[in-house]
Amino acid sequence: MAPLTSDPRFAAMTLVVIDFEGLTPAGRPAEPIEVAALALHTREGRLVEVGRFEALMRPPADVPVTTRDVQLKGITQRMLDSAAPAAEVMARLDARLTAPPYRLVAHHASTEAGIIARQAAHCPVLASTPLLDTLRLAKSVLPGLRSYGLDSLLAHYGIPTPAGRHRAMPDVELTSEVLSRLLADGVATARWSTLLELDIAGGLQPARPPTAPGVEQGSLF
């Protein structure tokens, strides 16, 4: 990854790989019940871990954990009953982000962007940070795959699937491994050698926080 890690803007950047697990109540946006983040920074020409965070989040009382949620994620209602609410957890995570600049990294990053935007009042740094989408990066550097889901990319790269797949931290660790492979492949094929080229291939701007009911949006001019 030498050309990329030699780019001053990329070398100065901390990449924060982030993942949420959530509940999806009918007719409402997803409610986050777990978050994990892994911070990566360039050192001696490679990405190394410089910090991590994970926490469960108690959902609203009217959003129960279903049997399917337990089967897929292994997270039970009892586990969440003693957790802090999302607002508190997101504020704690946001308080860790004290050394910008950052890029958030996620697979299908628009999902994470939407959750963060709905919590923007509690995590202003996260909510204003641009994102890199490993799904979009994969489409750029691995044309022709039948699927670009995370499991398909794990299979493509021969990365073993851990027992904790679909929990936030295992998924963050897997996404970090996929990110490293994609960055190296992109450098090897001259797809990117700078942060700007990465942003063009897989960048997303932060999602806008939802407007409160009854509040009119101001004029653009």
| Cα–Cα dist 42/179, whole Å | 13
pLDDT at position 213, please?
53
Omega before residue 101 within 30° of 0, cis? yes
pLDDT of residue 217: 39
Q: How far apart are CA 45 and CA 151, in angstroms?
A: 28
- Integer Cα distance of 114 and 134 in angstroms: 16
Q: What token pair was written down for 187?
A: 């450098």
Averaged pLDDT in 10-residue chunks for the chain of 221 residues:
91 97 91 98 93 97 92 92 97 97 97 96 97 98 96 96 90 97 96 97 93 46 25
CATH of domain 2-204: 3.30.420.10
pLDDT digits (tens, 9 = 90+) for 132-175: 999 999 999 999 999 999 999 999 999 999 888 889 999 999 99
Q: Which residues contact 157 (CB under 8 A, 6 or more apart)?
A: 177, 178, 181
